[in-house]
């Protein structure tokens, strides 16, 4: 089979005006941005709407470090809807350059279920990530200029949490000293860099509903606390206006297409650990006004991306999901049996490829736990068995048995190899779930205190016995309460490799407690994030990163991108 890049480079493109029209979007809202890429004007949110589209979430079981194909399934499902004569659109995050040149590679989908142009999508696209980088670092510069010019706001230097960002994997920038040199070079202090996807500005871009909402959210960003423990915000540093200006064009979603011409809105890319891990609210609001079915994806498993989609993103958008797809793979369920060790960038253990439905069944508790998370929110789940060439029919049958024993339909999908035609049965199952309907409900009310929200997530989503706050977390929580921030939603920053906070606990672990090391506020984004474990917000490069294999031919063609 051809590589993803080779398939993408042989693709035939439909004119973007036709792509827009196929989802019911008036081409007058399209702003061309080079060949086969466009921005969508924000005025599209005000266009007449006959009825809201059905809204479908694609999530997954707890993934292996290799990923289980959520984006590929999202794209394949969107293509399959068109095979059924249904006007569909897919909405996904924009990939970060750090992982693209690191171990993970790009995020355009795979095989014959891809978004194109694949190179543009994975490499800069329309510059939205760079706009976020510039806006974030503008605020960092204003903060340090304020310190240099006398610190009128009496900022406690030890409380400063606003670091700088860059869209690369560079572990050497995690902890640095800034302001070294002469007195005119600034105030010397400890700081560091995060990857751009981890910026609160990126989360704000993803959750904003309008220009005015973006501007207000930026103003609420907390960069530090003063000597009395009161929040110091971007508005107080007079930086929110300039940040909004830098982000104005980035607020418009990007329009691309799949290999089969299905409209694909690609917008924003918040980190999946300390932020929502979901694409933008604005892209969803536009798509649901025009298409018949909108399919969007949430990062990692249902315990992370889907829970945040329900309780943070849907709270911001006002939209309610009509159905959800849980992507499951034979290899992931085998990994949750505890018999195999999967490492990113390395081949699967040979024994893992041998036919063993029993190993699949041993990992089945993880699939059931994710189905229960969706059901807890009143959303009807469909299991998509993302088929790989080395799978065996007996193993697919084992997944079907696990799903059906819990009342969920499970469908084998071959969209990677067969494109939309390989996911038509899945699309039919999703449409049946939409017709049956559900009763969406959030896990908690806004009025619930942060501590109680944390406890509900830990016990009802992760299966923990409770939470344990460190002394530092207790102190930080009291400071948030003092600043009237106890109403914020909660985003738990934990490993994506387990339902628990311990990546070594596979399946559906019980008899453990969630340790909360820190609680920080992303007040502009509208959530507090609880750090549970060691979270790297600036990834590092491996010994054999993808960057080694990416190059240009003498004719200017990109090779090696994955």
Tally of structural domains, the chain: 3
Q: Assess contact for 101 and 546: CB atoms under 8 A.
A: yes
* Stretch 87-106: mean pLDDT: 94
pLDDT range class, residue 260, cuts 50, 70, 90: very high
How far apart, in whole angstroms, are the C-alpha atoms of residue 272 and residue 84? Answer: 32
Neighbours of 93 (CB within 10 A): 27
Neighbours of 537 (CB within 10 A): 20
* Stretch 74-85: mean pLDDT: 98
Same domain (yes/no): 112, 76? yes
Same domain (yes/no): 476, 498? yes
The pLDDT score that the predictor gives to residue 1 is 85
Q: Flag whether pLDDT at 344 surpasses 80.
A: no
Same domain (yes/no): 459, 381? no
Residue 333 in domain: yes
The pLDDT score that the predictor gives to residue 28 is 96
* Stretch 165-181: mean pLDDT: 96
The pLDDT score that the predictor gives to residue 141 is 98
For residue 253, whether the previous peptide bond is cis, meaning omega lies within 30 degrees of 0, is: no
Using the structure block, give the residue that is written with the tokens 């059905």: 54
Same domain (yes/no): 302, 410? yes
The Cα diameter of the chain in Å comes to 70
Using the structure block, give the residue that is written with the tokens 């190059």: 551
How far apart, in whole angstroms, are the C-alpha atoms of residue 424 and residue 419? Answer: 9
CATH (domain of 480)? 3.10.410.10
The tens digit of pLDDT for each residue in 6-40 reads 999 999 999 999 999 999 999 999 999 999 999 99
CATH (domain of 216)? 3.30.1510.10
Q: Which domain holds residue 429?
A: 4-126+250-436
How far apart, in whole angstroms, are the C-alpha atoms of residue 545 and residue 559? Answer: 15
Same domain (yes/no): 236, 305? no
* Boundary (domain end) residue, out of 246, 264, 296: 246
The tens digit of pLDDT for each residue in 406-458 reads 999 999 999 999 999 999 999 999 999 999 988 999 999 999 999 999 999 99
How far apart, in whole angstroms, are the C-alpha atoms of residue 242 and residue 226? Answer: 23
Same domain (yes/no): 132, 120? no
| CA distances from residue 548 to 94, 113, 140, 171, 545 in whole angstroms, order as listed | 22, 26, 32, 17, 6
How far apart, in whole angstroms, are the C-alpha atoms of residue 449 and residue 424? Answer: 44
The tens digit of pLDDT for each residue in 286-309 reads 999 999 999 999 989 999 999 999
CATH (domain of 323)? 3.40.50.300
The pLDDT score that the predictor gives to residue 133 is 98
Same domain (yes/no): 354, 421? yes
Residue 77 in domain: yes
Same domain (yes/no): 172, 100? no
Residue 415 in domain: yes
DSSP 306-353: IHHIIIIIHHHH----SEEEEEE-HHHHHHTTTS----TTSPPPGGGG
Q: Assess contact for 304 and 232: CB atoms under 8 A.
A: no
Q: Which residue has the higher pLDDT, 535 or 548?
A: 548
How far apart, in whole angstroms, are the C-alpha atoms of residue 224 and residue 233? Answer: 7
Q: Flag whether pLDDT at 345 surpasses 80.
A: no
How far apart, in whole angstroms, are the C-alpha atoms of residue 89 and residue 3? Answer: 25
How far apart, in whole angstroms, are the C-alpha atoms of residue 500 and residue 514? Answer: 7
Same domain (yes/no): 507, 485? yes
Same domain (yes/no): 338, 461? no
* Stretch 225-241: mean pLDDT: 98
Q: Flag whether pLDDT at 351 surpasses 90.
A: no
Q: Assess contact for 311 and 321: CB atoms under 8 A.
A: no
Q: Percent of the chain having pLDDT more than 70? A: 100
The pLDDT score that the predictor gives to residue 533 is 81
The tens digit of pLDDT for each residue in 174-210 reads 999 999 999 999 999 999 999 999 999 999 999 999 9
The pLDDT score that the predictor gives to residue 437 is 86
Residue 550 in domain: no
Compute the C-alpha angle 396/55/461, nearest 5°.
Answer: 65
The pLDDT score that the predictor gives to residue 164 is 98
Output the CA torsion 180→181→183→185 (10° steps).
Answer: -70
Same domain (yes/no): 387, 398? yes
Q: Flag whether pLDDT at 150 surpasses 90.
A: yes
Same domain (yes/no): 64, 160? no
The pLDDT score that the predictor gives to residue 274 is 86
The pLDDT score that the predictor gives to residue 466 is 97
List the beta strands (DSSP E) in 486-548: 489-493, 514-516, 518-522, 527-531
The pLDDT score that the predictor gives to residue 546 is 93
Q: What phi and psi, each to the nearest 5 degrees, are found at residue 407?
A: 85, 15
Contacts for 393 with CB less than 8 Å, ≥ 6 apart: none
Q: Which of 100-114, 238-252, 277-291 has the lowest mean pLDDT?
A: 100-114
How far apart, in whole angstroms, are the C-alpha atoms of residue 67 and residue 29? Answer: 35
pLDDT range class, residue 324, cuts 50, 70, 90: very high
């Amino acid at each position: 089979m051809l590589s993803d890049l080779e398939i993408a480079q042989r693709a035939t493109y439909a004119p973007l005006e036709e792509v827009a029209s196929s989802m019911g979007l008036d081409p007058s809202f399209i702003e061309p941005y080079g060949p086969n890429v466009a921005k969508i004007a924000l005025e599209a949110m005000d266009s007449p709407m006959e009825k809201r589209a059905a809204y479908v979430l694609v999530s997954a079981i707890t993934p292996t470090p290799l990923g289980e194909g959520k984006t590929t399934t999202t794209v394949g499902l969107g293509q399959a809807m068109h095979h059924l004569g249904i006007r569909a659109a897919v909405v996904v995050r924009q990939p970060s350059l750090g992982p693209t040149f690191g171990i993970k590679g790009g995020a355009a989908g795979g095989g014959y279920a891809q978004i194109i142009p694949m190179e543009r999508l994975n490499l800069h696209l329309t510059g939205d990530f760079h706009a976020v980088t510039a806006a974030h670092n503008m605020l960092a510069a204003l903060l340090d200029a304020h310190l240099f010019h006398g610190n009128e706001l009496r900022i406690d230097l030890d409380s400063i949490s606003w670091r700088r960002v860059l869209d690369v994997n560079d572990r050497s920038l995690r902890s640095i000293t800034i302001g070294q040199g002469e007195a005119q070079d600034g105030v010397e202090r400890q700081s560091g860099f995060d990857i751009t996807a981890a910026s609160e500005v990126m989360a704000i871009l993803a959750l904003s509903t309008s220009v005015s909402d973006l501007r207000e959210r930026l103003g609420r960003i907390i960069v530090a606390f003063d000597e009395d423990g009161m929040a110091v915000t971007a508005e107080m540093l007079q930086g929110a206006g300039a940040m909004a200006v830098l982000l104005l064009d980035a607020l418009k979603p990007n329009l691309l297409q799949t290999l089969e011409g299905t409209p694909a809105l690609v917008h924003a890319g918040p980190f999946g650990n300390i932020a929502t891990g979901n694409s933008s609210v604005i892209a969803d609001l536009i798509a649901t006004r025009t298409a018949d079915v909108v399919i969007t994806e949430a990062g990692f498993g249902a315990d992370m991306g889907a829970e945040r989609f329900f309780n943070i993103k849907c709270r911001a958008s006002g939209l309610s999901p009509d159905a959800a797809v849980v992507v499951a793979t034979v290899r992931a369920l085998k990994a949750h049996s505890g018999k195999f060790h999967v490492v990113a960038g390395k081949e699967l253990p040979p024994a893992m490829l041998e036919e063993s439905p029993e190993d699949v069944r041993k990992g089945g508790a993880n699939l059931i736990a994710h189905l229960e998370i969706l059901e807890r929110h009143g959303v009807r789940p469909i299991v998509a068995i993302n088929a790989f060439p080395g799978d065996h029919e007996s193993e697919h049958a084992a997944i079907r048995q696990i799903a059906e024993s819990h009342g969920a339909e499970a469908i084998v999908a071959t969209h990677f190899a067969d494109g939309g035609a390989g996911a038509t049965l899945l699309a039919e199952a999703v449409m049946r779930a939409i017709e049956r309907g559900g009763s969406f409900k959030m896990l908690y009310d806004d009025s619930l205190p942060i501590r109680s929200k944390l406890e509900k997530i830990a016990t009802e989503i992760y299966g923990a016995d409770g939470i344990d706050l460190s002394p530092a977390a207790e102190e930080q929580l009291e400071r948030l309460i003092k600043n009237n921030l106890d109403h914020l939603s909660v985003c738990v920053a934990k490993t994506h490799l387990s339902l628990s906070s311990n990546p070594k606990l596979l399946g559906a672990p019980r008899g453990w407690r969630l340790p909360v090391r820190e609680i920080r506020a992303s007040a502009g984004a509208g959530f507090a994030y609880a750090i549970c474990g060691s979270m790297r917000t600036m990834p590092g490069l491996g010994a054999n990163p993808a960057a080694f294999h990416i190059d240009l031919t003498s004719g200017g063609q990109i090779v090696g991108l994955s």
